[in-house]
Structure 1
Amino acid sequence: MEKKDRIYSLPTWRMTKWLVKPGRNVPADIQVALLGGLFGSLPIFFGGIINTLMVAALITFRRPEPPFLLWLALETLVCASRIVVLISARRAALAGKPTHTDLYVVLALCWALSVGYGTFISLLSGDWIAATLACLSAASMVGGICVRNFGAPRLSAAMVALSIGPCALGALFTHESILWLVLVQVPLYMTSMSMASYRLNDMLVSTMLARRENELHARQDSLTGLLNRHGLFGALDTAVRNAGHGHAEYAVLYLDLDGFKAVNDPYGHAAGDTLLTQVSARLVALKPADAVAARIGGDEFVLLAGRLSEAEARELGERIIASVSLPYDLDQDKPVSIGGSVGIALIPRHGADRASVLHAADQALYLAKSAGKSRTAMAQP
């Protein structure tokens, strides 16, 4: 069974949108991909929750006083809420529903604030065992925060400040002047970890952009900007799967130019390339909004369109031939003209897989050329 990707919805509140924004000029699809990291890394997520709950429980057992009882209650409530929202969001993401991202981000901040509150009251208590345990726990959480949330460096920096910042604030209220060193150490630690999150984010965004660019080049024809053979194969595989699930038929229109060699040979390859780019522009102008166009050979093109009846596919093929047959301005003495033949195959009627449907369209193209060229032909059943 094909694994379905989880798509998490972007936040809608002004504050949460600002917190998860990865940086300038980051495309929306990469922002969505980075957002998924906030809901992933489950071992780190549950490890952090277990750690902070255990520390809060142990210190509260040691000092069952109102501030610590409040801390344990707050920690329990926030952690339970985070788990519920996380599970709900992961299920909603699979179903294509809203994932309550705003609430999830706010709960992350509340959790960091709860950790910071625990360190603050532990330092104020004068119980150095409790203070040491709480501060060590908060410091260890910073690493997990940065690793898990560097897709949103602003959120990571805010969580670091809320969780470890109160250590410095608490040190001011102690009677141990030696602890004032924390006033220097903690800001430096917060700054360095936040900077690390930003660097990791920049590296990840750059890697994702490079990967997307490579994938685009792997699927795109360098001359025309249309899909190449590899890109068409991916689109055909998707169409075959959708058609197999009972969706509407897809039409595959296989176009081969008539007379291209008579232009390319006397006028040169540069003129031939110009003609091919103009043909591709005409195909793009004619294709339905949800269709894809590909160049799979020297002068061979394929248009893949969904929700077309046989009559509509034939009509589209005729319009393609009429458009391709119009004159081309190639900066020569006079405009040049070519023709085109189109073979049509329908998915799944003429093929239940990529190879068979392309073969059917190719055979239909052969019929169109055999019948005199500059015409369409439908694949045989």
Structure 2
Amino acid sequence: MITEGRVFSMPQWPATRWLADAGKDVPHEIRVALIAGLFGTLPIFFGGVVNSIMVALVIALRRPEPLFQLWLGLEIAICLGRLLVLAAARRNARHGGRTHTDLYLLLAVMWAASVGYGGFISIISGDWVIATLSCLSAAAMVGGICFRNFGAPRMTAVMITLTLGPCCLAALIADEPVLWLIFIQAPFYLFSMTMASYRLNRMLVTTMRAERENERRALQDSLTGLANRSALLAAIDAAIGEGRAGRAAYAVYYLDLDGFKAVNDTHGHAAGDALLRAVGERLEGLKPHGAMAARIGGDEFVLLVPLAPGFDVTAFGHQVIATVCSPYVLPSAVQARIGTSLGIARIPGHGNDTAAVLHAADRALYAAKTAGGSRCAQAA
């Protein structure tokens, strides 16, 4: 998942991959975002850590026996380990490093088992003060487990089971029949909280799908599927920033189709739309790695191309023209042939902002059209 500018790595161990699985047909980018959510909600995390250690400490002071001292030691060791791994993961995530996700998930499950162990030994001790305290603590932890980890509902179910399951077993074997009520009630609580986690997970995934679809539509041309004007302007802004810092250089290819209006007027708008889609497909297939193809309106297209060493800007422009100008066979066997004029501007070199770069490319496009069309010209 991505959160606050951090990218957290996906789990790799078979067991942790199973635990963190978000369900069927969930896109990878959403799975990554859900993993990031497991590293978030810090107030709930620290609240659970402090509470479980304090409860174990109080009970160990009341009952200074090996079983309770072992519990306190486990709580301190596991919680300290979780804190160290969490700190390292959040630090490494900023720099694209490994975030130890497998270890983090394993420690979370171990912590839930430790809480369950504490509840078990407290109930079978016959000391109803510490039994009440440990059971209340375990029940309180379940809420935090559910709302912190519902991005991974399987892990939530396992953690809740490890937290409350031992309490149910202890209530069954304790020498106090009234505690059998815990054995009867706790499974219903476990089931309801687990189902709540799965429902929250489905709601979150649905919301994230909708958000990403809205983002895609906001940045995509609805006819051709290429980037739209908004996406292009944002990309050129970023390219100018890289160019200003000396990290990269780009070429902007501004295309206008020659003869498109005649196709549209002769064969109808459906044929015109089909032609625009076909041009978009050709540009998408032609663009180099890391480049962006965009339709910015009407029959105008733009390619934003990173300049790798040895890249010939003019030769690529001629390749674009040759590709776009090849004959088209449209629906209903309509054959069409168009030309294209192309203006080229560079980043850096032809402006300090997006408007200036596009204006330079547009001037070059006009020069290409004036020279007869179906050719390219570079901005002065």
Q: Does the pair score TM above 0.5?
A: yes
Greater than 6 Å deviation, 4+ residue runs = none
Matched-pair identity in %: 59
Deviation at 1:173, TM superposition (A): 2.2
Residue aligning to 1:263: 263
Partner of 1:23: 23
* 1:243 equivalent in alignment to 2:243: yes
SS of 2:352's partner is coil
| TM-score for the superposition, normalised by structure 2 | 0.96
Partner in structure 1 of residue 230 of structure 2: 230
Indicate yes or no: 2:140 matched with 1:136.
no
For residues 195 and 332 of structure 2, what CA distance do their matches in structure 1 show?
59
The DSSP-based 3-state class of the residue aligned with 1:329 is strand
**Contact 2:367–2:377 (Cα < 8 Å) also in 1:** yes
Offset, 1:246: 2.4
Displacement, 1:6? 0.5
1:250 Cα shift? Answer: 1.0
Hey, what's the Cα distance between the residues in 1 that align with 2:43 and 2:332? 67
Alpha carbons 1:249, 1:309 under 8 Å: kept: no
Alpha-carbon distance change, 4 to 186 in structure 1, aligned in 2, over 3 angstroms:
closer
- In the alignment, the residues of structure 1 paired with residue 311 and residue 117 of structure 2 have an alpha-carbon distance, to the nearest angstrom, of 70
Q: Who is 2:113 aligned against?
A: 113
Distance in 2 separating the partners of 1:338 and 1:33:
45
Cα offset, 1:289, TM superposition: 2.3
Name the CA shift for 1:254/1:5 in 2 (closer, same or farther; >3 Å).
Answer: same
Matches of 1:343 and 1:281 in 2, distance apart?
20
Q: Which residue of 1 aligns with 2:163?
A: 163
Spell out the pairing of 1:1-381 with structure 2 (5 A cutoff): 5-308=5-308, 312-331=312-331, 335-380=335-380
Secondary structure at the counterpart of residue 296 of structure 1: strand
User: What root-mean-square deviation, in Å, do the aligned CA atoms of Structure 1 and Structure 2 show?
Assistant: 1.5
Compute the displacement of 1:21 (Å). Answer: 0.6
Q: Provide the rounded CA distance (Å) in 2 between the counterparts of 1:31 and 1:330.
A: 40
Tell me the amino acid that sits aligned with residue 372 of structure 1: G
Using the size of structure 1 for normalisation, the TM-score is 0.96
Aligned length: 378
Partner amino acid, structure 1, of 2:200? L
Aligned in 2, Cα 1:19/1:333: closer, same or farther, shift over 3 Å?
A: closer
Describe the SS at the equivalent of 1:106. Answer: helix
Q: What is the rounded CA distance, in whole Å, between the counterparts of 1:21 and 1:145 in structure 2?
A: 16
CA distance in 2, matches of 1:259, 1:96: 48
Look up the equivalent residue of 1:182 and give its one-letter code.
I
Post-superposition offset of 1:183: 1.2
Quote the offset at 1:350 in angstroms.
1.3
Q: Is the 8 A contact 2:274 2:331 kept in 1?
A: no
Aligned letter for 1:180? W
**Stretch deviating more after TM superposition (306-315 or 357-366):** 306-315
Residue deviations 1:58-85 (CA, integer Å, cap 9, x gap): 0101111000000001100000000000
Alpha-carbon distance in 2 for matches of 1:5, 1:287: 29
Q: Which amino acid in 2 is paired with 1:132?
A: T
